[in-house]
Amino acid sequence: MALKEKTVAGSLWETVKTVVSALLIAGVFRTLFFQPFWIPSGSMKETLLIGDFLFVNKMVYGYSYASCPSLILPRFGVNIDAKNICGALDNDNTRLFAGTPKRGDVVVFRHPVSGRDYIKRLIGLPGDRVQIQGGIVLINGAPVKQTAAGNFAEVMEPQGPERKRPRCANRPVGDGGDCLKARAVETLPEGSQHVVLDIGPQASDRTGVYTVPDGHFFFMGDNRDNSADSRLPQQVGGVGFVPFENLIGRADRIVFSSAGRSMLFFWTWRSDRFFKKIQ
């Protein structure tokens, strides 16, 4: 009997060690190499759609306190922030093995105030003067080229787990109708191209000049009229200028995509987006 109890205890201990080892390996992998990211909003359409799942390359920009994982699940009262783990490395705006972010990169970063993860496109580098006039981005006084490319169309219906409805240029649109946005190809000064969407005139289409401070970056969403980004200060819901240390990594490729409320709803999978390169 004692031998049986010892065998059961040994098996239980081996199971515990296996689980702990797996969690440690997963934690190290997520901290040092790639972090999973699920797209919850439409601010980066059409480049990224609600329900796209991707891994963020954390090696490309090196490591800072923001490289430590966060786990925020308000529904379950879980709020483990990167600062709780690596807060001692915060506020020096430096990185270990630092790589240089490039204009046009799609970047996941920590919001400077809330600490939540955001994903946007890098538009302004340190020292740049960025302005928006008539919906056109000006970088250091030179307008960024935009070429009209038809319309982006999606079905008017609740999207993703949050069940948000898209905004449309041809509003009002009833359920099941085609929600349209003007589509253009934007070419950045270095030559990289990406698609941007336009819903219509609004205040953020006309701004003053933003001078990007040293060690900071200016980000915008590709869905220009539906993005809280560097055009708005942090105090009113934007992200303002983002410090270098807040960058988590670069998004290079979509791994999986689901248009439904859950990734388990296989009938809503977008197979044409699996392993799609992010431009």
- Please tell me the distance from the alpha carbon of residue 116 to that of residue 248, in angstroms, as a whole number: 11
Does 64 qualify as catalytic in the annotation?
no
At residue 84, the 3 state secondary structure works out as helix
Q: Cα angle vertex 219, ends 67, 64, to 5°?
A: 15
Q: What is the DSSP annotation of 87-139?
A: GGGTTS---BT-----TT-EEEEE-TTT--EEEEEEEE-TT-EEEEETTEEEE
**Strand partners for 141:** none
Residue of 94, 72, 128 whose CA lies nearest to 246? 94
Selected catalytic residue, list 43, 227, 257, 258: 43
| Structure-token pair, residue 96 | 């270990």
| Structure-token pair, residue 110 | 């920590």
Does 41 qualify as catalytic in the annotation?
no
The answer to whether 17 touches 195, Cβ cutoff 8 Å, is: no
Selected catalytic residue, list 120, 181, 230, 258: 120
At residue 145, the 3 state secondary structure works out as strand
Task: Return the active site residues.
Answer: 43, 120
